[in-house]
Amino acid sequence: MALLTGKRVLLGVSAGIAAYKSALIIRLLKQAGCEVRVVMTDGAQAFITPMTLQALSGEPVRTSLLDPEAEAGMGHIELARWADVVLIAPATADLIARLAHGMADDLLTTLCLACETPKLIAPAMNQAMWRHPATQRNITVLEQDGWQQIGPDAGDQACGDVGPGRMSEPEAIVDAVLKRLTPPPMANDALQVVITAGPTREPLDPVRYLSNHSSGKMGFALAAAAAASGANVTLISGPVNLPTPRGVTRIDVESAAEMNAQAQRLATTAALFIGCAAVADYRAESAAAHKIKKRENSDTLTLTLVKNPDIIAGIAALPADQRPLVVGFAAETQDVEHYAREKLSRKGLDMIVANDVSSAELGFGSDDNAAWLLWRTPDGTDSEHQPAQSKTALANVIIQRALSLLPF
């Protein structure tokens, strides 16, 4: 279950080409457990239909201030009171100007004036329009009025220009909304959580290495969820291109040996250890000091590989008075639950999360995942299956289940 179940987001969509991204924003908010209602300007309907956003939100889309049926009960006031947060994405230069001057000439601007809850805005426009002094004055006014600005990003634009003005990506926008809806956690220094994430790289020579397809997204989502629960989180990460979650201490490593050294150092003072990294099982017996040259008279190359340390099994084998609760991961391509049960027993884990990485839509590199959760009980083991969902939502489930197994 997502941590933000029942939180209510009012999404305003104005007339920009980035309106197509609003569909993904709704999907991500719903996956996080939020209720979403949508208000569209007249111009927005030229870029994406109300029917599309209604299907995604599960709620009727409002488009007119002068809707006799809705306004019979002062619908715009009801909407303003309903929302826990207002998000406008995309926000055009025109809409920003009207909001900055307190205009109430359509449903969206009217309910923004009537709404006293937090408001966020994601600008989207041509780079020259964004840089124009009038737009900069207007956005400053909104910030002074309490609006939180998200973006914009810089890059290629639909008109062919390059520069600032692109609407931020849906994931960044939703992350800002969820942070606004989530009260700062009460830090619990006694609850130390260590998480490994991402791939490892095992050098073959100065320019080559052995690695895998892990993006680190699941481990980083777990770190964010644990920090949101109030834990003191240390994330040991292999080489990935991801921002460090808020409130998380990050240690970057390259090889399995480096990751193992950090894990062994930190695990004895942790209450919970989660091994989510995709650690290389083998490394070169000895990495070449110089680049390995292609041999013109041979079509093969023989490498001698040796086993890497089994990080998760090593943590699970610590003495009882030094051992944290240990959660492992299993990436499988068949018989997922069967292999997960075998690994849970063989490595002496307290809990395991197993997922099928044979699907292109789930697992490595994807934003979504599905998994089997298995954990030890006094009577044996228990399990549950989590269907496909965002890695953020799944991370919340995993963290809450792991914390429930702690002895305090």
Cα separation, 251 vs 308, in Å, equals 20
In a domain, 320, yes or no: yes
In a domain, 1, yes or no: no
Last residue of some domain: 181, 209, 226?
181
Q: What number is the average pLDDT over the span 232-259?
A: 94
Q: What is the pLDDT of residue 346?
A: 93
Angle at 202 (CA atoms; ends 199, 205), nearest 5 degrees:
140
Provide the residue range defining the domain that includes 130.
8-181
H/E stretch holding 249 reads: strand 248-252
Q: What is the CATH number of the domain that holds 350?
A: 3.40.50.10300
55 and 157 co-located in one domain: yes
390 and 264 co-located in one domain: yes
Cα separation, 267 vs 195, in Å, equals 10
State pLDDT tens for residues 3-26.
566 789 999 999 989 999 999 999
State pLDDT tens for residues 70-119.
554 445 678 888 989 999 999 999 999 999 999 988 999 999 998 888 99
- How many helices and strands (H and E) does the chain possess? 14, 19
Q: How many domains does the chain have?
A: 2
- Longest pairwise C-alpha distance within the chain: 86
Cα separation, 9 vs 86, in Å, equals 6
In a domain, 352, yes or no: yes
The verdict on whether residue 329 carries a ligand-binding annotation is yes
25 and 157 co-located in one domain: yes
Q: What is the mean pLDDT of the chain?
A: 88
19 and 59 co-located in one domain: yes
Last residue of some domain: 152, 181, 210?
181
84 and 166 co-located in one domain: yes
Q: What is the pLDDT of residue 248?
A: 92
State pLDDT tens for residues 371-387.
889 999 988 889 998 88
Cα separation, 107 vs 115, in Å, equals 12
The verdict on whether residue 275 carries a ligand-binding annotation is yes
- In one letter, which amino acid is 236? I
State pLDDT tens for residues 22-59.
999 999 999 888 999 999 999 999 999 999 999 999 99
The verdict on whether residue 343 carries a ligand-binding annotation is yes
Dihedral of alpha carbons 394, 395, 397, 401, sign: positive
User: Cα–Cα distances in Å, from 390 out to 71, 302, 310, 334?
Assistant: 37, 41, 29, 22
Find how far residue 13's CA is from the centre of its chain: 23
In a domain, 154, yes or no: yes
Cα separation, 373 vs 353, in Å, equals 5
In a domain, 61, yes or no: yes
Name the catalytic one among 34, 112, 115, 159: 159
Q: Are 81 and 10 in contact (CB under 8 A)?
A: no
253 and 156 co-located in one domain: no
Q: Pairing state of beta strands 231-237 and 248-252?
A: parallel
96 and 43 co-located in one domain: yes
State pLDDT tens for residues 125-174.
988 999 999 999 999 999 888 899 998 987 777 777 878 888 999 999 99
Q: Pairing state of beta strands 305-307 and 208-210?
A: unpaired
What token pair was written down for 170?
């849906």
Cα separation, 56 vs 35, in Å, equals 11
Q: What is the pLDDT of residue 264?
A: 96
Q: What is the pLDDT of residue 69?
A: 57
- What region does 234 belong to: left with phi over 0, alpha with psi -120 to 50, or beta? beta
More reliable by pLDDT, 383 or 68: 383
Cα separation, 68 vs 312, in Å, equals 63
195 and 301 co-located in one domain: yes
Phi and psi at 203, nearest 5°, equal -65, 140
The verdict on whether omega for the bond into residue 164 sits within 30 degrees of 0, i.e. cis, is: no
Q: Among this protein's residues, is 159 annotated catalytic?
A: yes
In a domain, 168, yes or no: yes
The verdict on whether residue 284 carries a ligand-binding annotation is no
164 and 303 co-located in one domain: no
344 and 383 co-located in one domain: yes
DSSP 8-state symbol, 308: P
In a domain, 94, yes or no: yes
In a domain, 3, yes or no: no
Q: What's the full length of the chain, in residues?
A: 408
The verdict on whether residue 307 carries a ligand-binding annotation is no
The verdict on whether residue 352 carries a ligand-binding annotation is no
Q: What is the pLDDT of residue 1?
A: 33
Convert 70-138 into a string of H (helix), E (strand) and C (coil). HHCCCHHHHHHHHCCEEEEEEECHHHHHHHHCCCCCCHHHHHHHHCCCCEEEEECCCHHHHHCHHHHHH
Q: What number is the average pLDDT over the span 309-315?
A: 95
Q: What is the CATH number of the domain that holds 148?
A: 3.40.50.1950
The verdict on whether residue 310 carries a ligand-binding annotation is yes
- Burial status of residue 298 (CB atoms within 10 A of its CB: 0-12, 13-18, 19 or more): exposed
161 and 223 co-located in one domain: no
Last residue of some domain: 112, 146, 181?
181
The verdict on whether residue 291 carries a ligand-binding annotation is yes
192 and 177 co-located in one domain: no
Q: What number is the average pLDDT over the span 286-292?
A: 89
